[in-house]
Amino acid sequence: MGGCNLACRWCDTPYTWDWTGVGDSGVAYRPRDELHPMAWREVLERLRAYEVPMIVVSGGEPLSQQARLLPLLRALIDTGHRVEIESNGTVVPLPELAGLGVRFNISPKLAHSGDEEERRLVPEALAALAAVPGTAFKFVCRTRDDLDEVASIVDRYGTTPVWIMPEGQTPHEVDRHIAALGDDVVARGWNLTTRLHVAVWGDRRGV
């Protein structure tokens, strides 16, 4: 999905929203090149052609367009697909969406994203998402200090279960950060995951 209400400096999909070059790459993408409106029925047919059991909706920020997503998601679920939505956790989900049985993978942003706290942490949205069964919270981290910030967010907003993912655009960066974080993540009783798409394809698009 295109468009985002945040502007994380290290975002790995800046081409979905960064029209001014505020990200770490400094590249200003052109929406006319990157965004292509499509009817939901056309999207449905393309997704069904992959013949996979699960569809993950990512962005950008998908919940900014959640009303438009509803017919597509209903159709996917009706045809037997499992559906997951990745979100930054700043938008309250519509009751109709929360009731569909989709899984929410929520990634609240930390201070190193460059976004102001009042923009990246929205209490009513986090509470609503935490109340949906099966929701998981993933935090992108670089250092042990980031884990302290995660703990503070968990204490304030009840954002569990916790998954920690290392930040990085290259396999080397991911390896370095996960090595720095691993022991502390395990000691806190949280879950640790890598960035499989970066490990396999680096920062290549369209994979």
Which distant-in-sequence residues (6+ apart) come within 8 Å of 15 by Cβ?
Answer: 29, 34, 205
pLDDT of residue 207: 76
Residue 10, annotated as binding a ligand: yes
Residue 60, annotated as binding a ligand: yes
Residue 13, annotated as binding a ligand: yes
Complete DSSP assignment for 156-187: HH---SEEEEE--SSHHHHHHHHHHHHHHHHH
The Cα–Cα gap between 130 and 127 comes to: 5
168, 197 in Cβ contact below 8 A? no
Residue 18, annotated as binding a ligand: no
Indicate the domain borders of the chain.
37-134, 137-207
pLDDT of residue 204: 85
Counting every residue written for the chain, the total comes to 207
pLDDT of residue 206: 76
Q: What is the pLDDT tens value at each position of the chain, 207 positions in all?
A: 999 999 999 998 999 999 999 999 899 999 999 999 999 999 999 999 999 999 999 999 999 999 999 999 999 999 999 999 999 999 999 999 989 999 999 999 999 999 999 999 999 999 999 999 999 999 999 999 999 999 999 999 999 999 999 999 899 999 999 999 999 999 999 999 999 888 889 888 877
Residue 113, annotated as binding a ligand: no
Q: Are strands 136-141 and 162-166 parallel, antiparallel or unpaired?
A: parallel
158, 128 in Cβ contact below 8 A? no
Residue 108, annotated as binding a ligand: yes
Amino acid sitting at position 203: D
Sign of the CA dihedral running 198, 52, 14, 98: negative
H or E element at residue 193: none
Strand pairing partners for 141? 166
The Cα–Cα gap between 129 and 134 comes to: 10
Residue 79, annotated as binding a ligand: no
pLDDT of residue 203: 82
The Cα–Cα gap between 168 and 182 comes to: 15
pLDDT of residue 68: 95
Residue 17, annotated as binding a ligand: no
Residue 37, annotated as binding a ligand: no
Residue 16: count of CB within 10 angstroms of its CB: 18
